[in-house]
């Protein structure tokens, strides 16, 4: 295993208003970046509480609800809850969280001012049922895309992830050719010889490029681990390549605006300078509209040929 | 003056369900195409009646309404009504007209299945106040656009246009380089030596490419002439080059769907096979939504850089 580099840039949301140029550079080169203390105090407590409700509902068996997804538990082999989709629709503090100014300013710095929010999900490791998440890329950059801007997830940790359960990444693998990444993923076992662990505290965040190789061990006897993933994409890439339609881009821009507004109404964000979303050119919007839902199902907005 | 070519293809909406390949070819080469009998009977009567109401409102002076535009009358020199914008918003039969299946099938044939409606306006020649409309192109194809599909207007004639007042076009000038078109437009007077007149009856339609050179003489002693212009653009060109934003494309797709639905409810369209709008890829839409307005002001949706 690689140690965490001594001089690895780590952002601190208590001390910065957005990531620095050096941190942005590290993220572009290495495919991940740790940001400490994004959620704290009342917001952390609320988000934890709300996501615990969703977890409990799902753990009790949300039969028939397609937003609750199950996998085979690592210990019992039984169906255990592994993922919940559309958490923004399911919980108001998650709407306010999408408006988080440190996050949005940093996303804008990396993706430009026409970025759009895409996925919002919670990924779970059920207590003592941790499942190995083998080495993988989340998704591929669209075929033919030469735009160098990163597509990435912002992962909000609601529980501690220690060395037993935490995410491991292979730094720089986001820039590997497809074949190299595939060969590395095919290596048997959860080999960490070229990887580093990224232990996290509740409220910490990782930015991770969709193409950086990552995974996590089974973590025997693990406690519950909840991580919320908000994905963002540069609008220009989404417009040209999808996977979503133009209609989706526009609807999600309005969701973003509404969530920024939402955040301005919560007491725990009172002292903040709100993020100003200012898309331009093809992505300019004529004025905020209250979205008729916060749940635009991906499959309804994927591009199709007929 | 050129005579109307003997063998000029002319479409007839009573006998065809859309323009033929030959007519499409003529339009692409020459920049215009006549379609007879698009509006007839009850629909023609209704549309004439409704547009007369708008004309009368405007002629009485619609002070302060930016949708009513005035110019100097050719005879009196006084302000006379020359154009009314957003007629679909102002009149329900104009909504149903946007759903006209012959028109939409023909637009789809020329622009592909992702076409979008853009402008909807009425252009007027006030009685005995006809103004020379000098040789011009309506607009330029966006700089850098290599897509060969035509951007064009569908002009619905509500009154007769005889040789004194009708549109003149210079066939094929849609394919001229910019410099050649500019030089031709700079020629003094309303020179018709290389042009042909296009006399029309009420209910007839001209498709005219935005780059074909056209104009009309003052038409001394002219009667009222009302022409409704519906412009359409291939979605792919609009997406890449504008002038409108992606948000506009999507909103107008929903306007189009709603107007197609609207047409299915009017008695005079009862026997028709409705047009099925089936945009694909980036332009696919997840399902019809009733638009919150039929008037999306262009200037609110033009692309801007900040």
| Residues B81-90: tens digit of each pLDDT | 989 999 999 9
**Distance (Å) from the alpha carbon of A231 to chain B's nearest alpha carbon:** 20
Work out how many CB contacts closer than 8 A connect A with B. Answer: 75
Q: Is A304 on the interface with B (CB under 8 A)?
A: yes
Q: What angle do CA A120, A300, B253 make, to 5 degrees?
A: 115
Tell me the chain B residues in contact with residue A256 when contact means C-beta distances shorter than 8 Å. Answer: none
Taking the C-alpha atoms of residue A77 and residue A123, their distance in angstroms, rounded to an integer, is 18
Percent of chain A with pLDDT over 70: 97
Interchain CB distance below 8 Å, A280 and B303: yes
Q: Which A residues 136-155 touch B at CB under 8 Å? A: none
Tell me the chain B residues in contact with residue A286 when contact means C-beta distances shorter than 8 Å. Answer: 245, 247-248, 296, 300-301
In three-state secondary structure terms, A55 is helix
What is the per-residue burial (b if ≥16 Cβ within 10 Å, else e) of A40-75? eeebbebbbebbeebbeebbeebeeeebbbbeebbb
pLDDT of residue A53: 97
Characterize the bridge pairing of strands B152-157 and B167-169: unpaired
| Residues B152-164: tens digit of each pLDDT | 999 999 999 988 8
| Most A CBs within 10 Å, among B253, B255, B282, to test the A interface | B282
Minimum-distance CB partner of B246 among A283, A303, A306: A283
**Distance (Å) from the alpha carbon of A158 to chain B's nearest alpha carbon:** 34
Beta strands in chain B (DSSP E): 10-12, 32-36, 68-72, 79-85, 115-125, 133-136, 152-157, 167-169, 196-198, 205-209, 214-216, 225-234
Q: Is B115 on the interface with A (CB under 8 A)?
A: no
Asked if pLDDT for residue B305 goes beyond 70, the answer is: no
Tell me the chain B residues in contact with residue A295 when contact means C-beta distances shorter than 8 Å. Answer: none
Tell me the chain A residues in contact with residue B305 when contact means C-beta distances shorter than 8 Å. Answer: 280-281
| Residues B88-146: tens digit of each pLDDT | 999 999 999 999 999 999 999 999 999 999 999 999 988 888 777 889 999 889 989 99
In three-state secondary structure terms, A130 is coil
In three-state secondary structure terms, A123 is strand
What chain B residue is nearest to A253 in terms of C-alpha separation?
B247
Beta bridge partners of A80: A71
Q: Which residues of chain A have pLDDT under 70?
A: 1-6, 305-306
Minimum-distance CB partner of A246 among B249, B300, B305: B249
Q: What is the ipTM of this complex?
A: 0.74
Interchain CB distance below 8 Å, A280 and B305: yes
Angle between helices A246-264 and B246-264 (to 10 degrees): 110
Q: Is B303 on the interface with A (CB under 8 A)?
A: yes
Taking the C-alpha atoms of residue A173 and residue A212, their distance in angstroms, rounded to an integer, is 5
The tokens describing A69, both together, are 């997804």
Assess contact for A35 and A102: CB atoms under 8 A: yes
CB atoms near residue A270 (< 10 Å): 8
| Residues B16-47: tens digit of each pLDDT | 999 999 999 999 999 999 999 999 999 999 99
**Distance (Å) from the alpha carbon of B63 to chain A's nearest alpha carbon:** 26
pLDDT of residue A13: 96
The tokens describing B291, both together, are 């638009």
Minimum-distance CB partner of B250 among A247, A278, A281: A247
pLDDT of residue A167: 92
The tokens describing A9, both together, are 């840039």
Write down the residue that tokens 């380089």 correspond to: B177
Range with the lowest mean pLDDT among A99-108, B10-19, B64-73? B64-73
The tokens describing B59, both together, are 């002629």
Strand arrangement of the beta sheet that strand B152-157 belongs to? B10-12, B32-36, B205-209, B152-157, B225-234, B115-125, B79-85, B68-72
Asked if pLDDT for residue B227 goes beyond 90, the answer is: yes
pLDDT of residue B5: 66
| Most A CBs within 10 Å, among B115, B233, B245, B247, to test the A interface | B247
């Amino acid at each position: 295993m690689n140690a965490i580099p001594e001089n690895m840039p780590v952002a601190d949301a208590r001390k910065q208003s957005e990531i620095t140029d050096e941190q942005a550079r590290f993220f572009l080169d290495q495919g991940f970046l740790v940001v400490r203390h994004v959620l704290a105090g009342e917001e952390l407590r609320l988000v934890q509480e709300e996501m615990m409700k969703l977890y409990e509902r799902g753990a009790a068996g949300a039969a028939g609800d397609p937003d609750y997804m199950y996998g085979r538990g690592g210990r019992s082999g039984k169906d255990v809850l592994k993922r919940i989709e559309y958490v923004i629709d399911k919980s108001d503090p998650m709407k306010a969280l999408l408006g988080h100014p440190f996050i949005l300013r940093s996303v804008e710095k990396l993706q430009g001012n026409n970025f759009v929010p895409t996925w919002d999900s919670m990924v779970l490791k059920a207590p003592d049922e941790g499942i190995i998440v083998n080495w993988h890329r989340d998704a591929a950059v669209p075929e033919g895309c030469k735009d160098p801007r990163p597509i990435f997830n912002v992962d909000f940790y609601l529980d501690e992830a220690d060395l037993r359960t935490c995410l491991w990444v292979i730094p720089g693998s986001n820039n590997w050719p497809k074949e190299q990444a595939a060969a590395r993923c095919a290596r048997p076992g959860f080999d960490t010889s070229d990887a580093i662990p990224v232990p996290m505290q509740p409220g910490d965040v990782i930015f991770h490029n969709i193409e950086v190789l990552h995974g996590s061990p089974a973590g025997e006897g693990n406690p519950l681990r909840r991580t919320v993933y908000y994905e963002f994409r540069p609008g220009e890439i989404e417009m040209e390549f999808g996977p979503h339609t133009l209609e989706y881009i526009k609807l999600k821009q309005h969701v973003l605006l509404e969530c920024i507004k939402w955040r301005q109404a919560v007491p725990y964000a009172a002292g903040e300078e709100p993020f100003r979303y200012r898309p331009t050119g093809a992505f300019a919007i004529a004025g905020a509209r209250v979205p008729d839902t916060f749940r635009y199902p991906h499959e309804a907005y994927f591009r199709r040929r007929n």
